[in-house]
Amino acid sequence: MASNGSFASPLASAGKTGALPHQLDFVVETIARQSIWTIAFTVLAIAVAYDQISYIVKKGSIAGPSWKLPFMGPFLESVDPQFEQYYAKWVSGPLSCVSVFHKYE
C-alpha cells in the first residue's frame, strides 16, 4: 500500500484544533503539572468523602455513630463485638443499625 502523507492523527493535533474550549486550558494545565501523589491523594480524599456522605445518607435517623471508619464501616464492630453497644442499638427502636447491618456493606 502506498503511504498517504496527508493523514493527521487526531490525538497529535488535538491541542491545535481546539477540541476543548479555551476556558478549560487552565484546568488541563493545572492537572498536568500535578504529581502522581497529589492526584492519588485527591482521589483518595474524594473517595473517603463520598463514603462518609453515603453512610450518613443511608443511616438517616437510626441509632449508631454519626461517622464511621472509611471503607470499613460497621465491620470493625463485628470483629470485637461489645454486648453493651450491640444491645443499645437493638433496643433503640424497631429499626436499628443491627437490623440493617448489611445495608451499609
Residue at 58 is within a domain:
yes
Nearest to 63, CA basis, from 92, 105, 84: 92
22: which DSSP letter?
Answer: G
Residue type, 63: A
Count CB atoms within 10 A of the CB of residue 96: 17
Residue 63: per-residue pLDDT: 67
Grid coordinates of 25: 486550558
Number of domains the chain is built from: 1
Greater confidence (58 vs 90) lies with: 58
- Indicate whether 71 belongs to any domain: yes
Residue 16 in domain: no
Q: Taking residues 20-48, what's their average pLDDT?
A: 89
The span from the CA of 75 to the CA of 81, in Å, is 10
pLDDT at 13 over 90: no
Mean pLDDT of 40-56: 93
Question: What is the residue range of 58's domain?
Answer: 22-103
pLDDT band at 56 (very low <50, low <70, confident <90, very high): confident
User: Higher confidence at residue 28 or residue 73?
Assistant: 28
Least confidently predicted of 40-49, 54-63, 85-94 = 85-94
9 domain-assigned: no
Per-residue pLDDT band for 69 (boundaries 50, 70, 90) equals confident
Q: What percent of the chain has pLDDT over 90?
A: 15
